[in-house]
Amino acid sequence: MLTMIISPAKKLDYESIDQKLSSSEPTLLNHSASLIGDLRKLSPQGVSSLMGLSDKLGALNYGRFQEWQLPFTKKNAKQAIMAFKGDVYQGLDPASLSKEDLAWAQDNLRILSGLYGILKPLDLMQAYRLEMGTKLRTERGKDLYEFWGSTITDELNKIFNSSNGILLNLASNEYFKSISESKINARVITPAFMDYKNDKYKIISFFAKKARGFMTRFVIKNRITDANQIKDFSEAGYKFNKAMSTEDKPVFCRD
């Protein structure tokens, strides 16, 4: 069993909602509702200060928190994989995935989230911005890491019921920190993507994010379940670099 995790994105698209596309409900909505209760206590300026946003973005997200409501429907929410529009999702290009691809992704891909904890690709979600590193104080602690505690790890462990499970970590460090790696009942593989610049290979954030999306798409399209098959990834000019890799940290380089 191979399960991928990716990060969410700040950029969202709620202009168009496909009413025919299948949908599901996030499993941790009771936790999300608790967070919304705390966030609604903030003023627009308080939202800006908490998240380091401009007054305009602070007001936008203050409004989102006030308007957040249950139940989620296709009229007031959108499937997570279609709503996020950042660099990872440019590489993933979910709009071009087939129904069969999305069905496979529903079983094998999870999106980490500051507000929703963990999302399946087709889970409906309402627009928000709340990065995992946000220092929002709640009754559970000083920040979102303490709020979520072991909850996200526990949800992932529900997936792994065999001894040969693989967690393919394609999330950023900020989001992966919400998981207790030592308590995951699976082998964790964390690829690195490097570009050649100034006479050496280095991780360039913008390109690495997009590459994580490319690999997510590669795994979905090829229905990969074997860790060794990950080494065949060669999208966008990246190639497996055996010399720079370790067993659980494969490195892919691009000249």
What Cα–Cα distance (Å) separates residue 249 from each residue in 66, 139, 156, 227, 245?
Answer: 42, 37, 20, 11, 6
What pLDDT score does 164 carry? 81
Alpha carbon distance 63, 45 (integer Å): 12
Which pTM value belongs to this model? 0.96
pLDDT, mean of each 10-residue run, the chain (255 residues)? 96 88 97 98 98 97 98 95 97 96 98 98 98 97 98 95 87 97 96 95 96 98 96 97 97 96
What pLDDT score does 16 carry? 82
Given a contact cutoff of 8 angstroms between Cβ atoms, the answer to whether 102 and 82 are in contact is no
What pLDDT score does 248 carry? 97
Alpha carbon distance 175, 49 (integer Å): 21
Alpha carbon distance 106, 4 (integer Å): 11
What pLDDT score does 7 carry? 98
Given a contact cutoff of 8 angstroms between Cβ atoms, the answer to whether 84 and 78 are in contact is no
What pLDDT score does 168 carry? 98
Alpha carbon distance 28, 55 (integer Å): 30
What pLDDT score does 162 carry? 66
Neighbour count for residue 74 (Cβ, 10 Å): 14
Alpha carbon distance 118, 5 (integer Å): 9
